[in-house]
Structure 1
Amino acid sequence: MTVMINAKNIEKTVATSEGSLCILKGIDLEIKQGETLAIVGSSGSGKSTLLGLLAGLDIPSSGSITLDGRDITALTEDERATVRADLVGFVFQSFQLLPSLTALENVMLPAELNGVAGARGLAEKYLQRVGLDHRFNHYPKQLSGGEQQRVALARAFASQPQILFADEPTGNLDTATGAQVIDLLFELNREEGATLVLVTHEQRLADRCQRSIQLEGGEIVADKRNKPSVVASVSGQN
């Protein structure tokens, strides 16, 4: 199977008032096409930093990262942005919806910017898929937290990414709403066949992935395969 993400000997060090702080050290990680991977660990272990590096949002202090065979650590920020536009979708804890755009416009925007044909049709399709066909013209402030995160899911998949990164996607949601969003995330990902990498502090969410790695002190201390789980269908969403 094709390796979609390959990180070799990744180090990330930042300068602080007290000197250099090493956030990640010696990270070696391969993620195959279509694989679902959870990154877990205690607060401050480097989870979100690693996700940002794998997605090309930042560059490591040393080491190399390739996405679909492209070495993003050798690219400029503009070149990395082009790679992200071609390959990557995001789901953030804080939704990251533009308040001046409707749900439909929020979903359409990245696809339009990436030159995806039929962006409006795709946006309508995925909003319908997440149960928000009655919310096309609503603005984020008119939507509940769960509805906003479902818009974010629709936006991520409407760009038809090969890799989907999710950073604590249920962090701002109550337990029941979070469970509905996660069911949708895994259902959509199974249908689309994207490589999924998510950061979470919830073990039940990590267990839904085929594989999970645990970070502590900026190092991978465990890498395990999980038993395949059955993704339940979602109904009665609010």
Structure 2
Amino acid sequence: MIEAHHIVKEVVTSAGTLRILDDISLAVAEGEALAIVGPSGSGKSTLLGILAGLDLPSAGQVQINGEDITAMDEEGRAAMRARYVGFVFQSFQLLPSLTALENVALPLELRGDAQALDTARRFLERVGLAARWHHYPRQLSGGEQQRVALARAFASQPKILFADEPTGNLDTATGETINNLLFQLNREAGTTLILVTHEPVLANRCHRRVTLRGGRLLNGETALPVDP
């Protein structure tokens, strides 16, 4: 489903060239749940962005479903993301001027789905927000906003879901609820899940985890899947 070959990411700073990722190669199978772990500053979010086609590497290649996304222009990568990819971010990334329902429906409407609002309502019901669909993000708690973000991600029925610290801004109880929803929806849809996390419990719910340290990938560590 996803293959990354010899990924390098460098940025130029006032102190010289900084190498954020150094020769990263990995593969993620269809339907697999992979956790990317490691200390802060190790390049986890940068790698996630490159795998998702949100950023380009300085060198190397990423293929999604056999398509080389690193050879595409931004329009091509955007079209690829529309076909295959969903996102859940730590900062929720909801549009403040839209209601919960409108936030979930917007990506569906942009691709011409005539049933966008009905689909959005159905997924908001799935995450327990049937009574809150007309509220704006400022009227929702952090946990409710993240559930809207989950509904938005899964409503598009993505083949691949990328999650960057999806519970990092939430309290423990709310975070556990979001984690359960994430894996429940993932299991039911058969979606490939790639997440960045600092939480060992969340990482251990994935089929496998890999560790980044200093921009380099350590040997993969097998983590037994746990029934959500």
Question: Normalization by structure 1: what TM-score?
Answer: 0.94
2:40 counterpart (40, 43, 49): 43
Aligned partner of 2:138 in structure 1 is 141
1:6 counterpart (3, 6, 10): 3
Give the Cα–Cα distance (whole angstroms) in 1 for the partners of residues 79 and 193 of structure 2.
Answer: 20
Amino acid in structure 2 at the alignment position of 1:102: T
Residues 108-154 of structure 1: CA distance to partner in whole angstroms, max 9, x if unpaired? Answer: 00111123352111111110000000011011011000000000000
Segment of structure 1 superposing worse, 153-162 or 215-224: 215-224
Aligned partner of 2:201 in structure 1 is 204
Aligned partner of 1:107 in structure 2 is 104
1:220 counterpart (205, 208, 217): 217
Give the drift of 1:228: 2.1
1:160 counterpart (149, 157, 160): 157
| Structure 1 segments (4+ residues) deviating >6 Å | none
Structure 1 residues not aligned, in runs of 5+: 232-238
Give the Cα–Cα distance (whole angstroms) in 1 for the partners of residues 135 and 124 of structure 2.
Answer: 12
**Contact 1:24–1:50 at 8 Å: present in 2 too?**
yes
Give the Cα–Cα distance (whole angstroms) in 2 for the partners of residues 181 and 175 of structure 1.
Answer: 10
Alignment of 1:1-238 (within 5 A): 4-231=1-228
Give the Cα–Cα distance (whole angstroms) in 1 for the partners of residues 114 and 18 of structure 2.
Answer: 45
Q: What percentage of aligned pairs have identical amino acids? A: 64
Give the drift of 1:66: 0.5
**Contact 1:116–1:159 at 8 Å: present in 2 too?**
no
Q: Helix, strand or coil for the counterpart of 2:218?
A: strand
Segment of structure 1 superposing worse, 113-122 or 222-231: 113-122
Give the drift of 1:222: 2.6
Residues 144-175 of structure 1: CA distance to partner in whole angstroms, max 9, x if unpaired? Answer: 00000000000000111000000000011011
Amino acid in structure 2 at the alignment position of 1:153: L
The alignment's C-alpha RMSD in Å is 0.8
Segment of structure 1 superposing worse, 214-223 or 51-60: 214-223
Give the Cα–Cα distance (whole angstroms) in 1 for the partners of residues 176 and 111 of structure 2.
Answer: 30
Tell me the number of residue pairs that the alignment of Structure 1 and Structure 2 aligns. 228
